Structure 1
Amino acid sequence: MSYCDTLRSHMDAAMSDVKSKPGAALKTVLDELPVRSKKIGEQPKDKEGKKKFENQVQEARDVAAQCVLTVLCAIESNKIPTAIKELTDDERDTLMKFVYRGFGERSVVDDKPKATYDCNILLKTHEEISKLMGNGPIIRTIHTRLEV
């Protein structure tokens, strides 16, 4: 089983819990992510100086973002504050990174930009994290070298 398949299985497990235990569902997908350290960017290089696993790393990041944002957007709006309070500070920081990535994910339908994820949920999550932790997560998200 590849790393991306493992992430998808975490998402499937979280989606089954998202209605009854939204905080636990978020924890499930936030536990095994490729953004926990800078080491994901430190890869062996081939003879030409290119990173050997660059495609797999980007795929893992994309799948991780899809998993987190899919589970987040499946949570009912009124349950988001409770779910955010159940997370640790590190998990909230990581979630904020994914919220910003979700803001940037756009698709084009009929020549008009359309949000891929529910921006209302993303804004509500952003607001709740900011209420609990202040501006720290925003600053860390903008200035971090860790990509999600």
Structure 2
Amino acid sequence: MALRAISPAVAVLILIGVAIAVGILTGVIALSQTKSLASKGATIQVLVDARDAGGGSASISVTIKNAGPEDVIVDNVVVRANGAAVTCTWQNNPIGATVRSGASASFNAICSGVSVGQTISVQVDAHTRNTNTNVGGTGSTEVLP
């Protein structure tokens, strides 16, 4: 017995089904790619507090907040007073420290050549643990008495 041609209505239903399946598959692929891109990198925020420590120096506290999604490793921290680099002695060295995704880490230092009223700015350079993406942030504050 020879195969009979399918009716036009059934052919249309089959084509609609194939189109829906292709649309769903395309959507799933697009969502997985978006999730993959969103899971790379990190965003850090740098918060700074500075107080006069006497003798031309200031006690500073630097908090690095990591919004994620990756952990970051601190590569470099530059402290400036009114735009000029200053020398700091860190009580807990931030270089090489890991700041976990969704967490924060604080570091303290005594910086020389700084006086009340000056603006302290701190530039933090880091990279992500998984994708080795460079990230950075800057924070600033005025040295308070």
TM-score class, shorter-chain normalisation, is under 0.3
Q: Which has the higher helix share?
A: 1
- TM-score, L = length of structure 2: 0.20
Structure index of larger Rg:
2
- TM-score, L = length of structure 1: 0.20
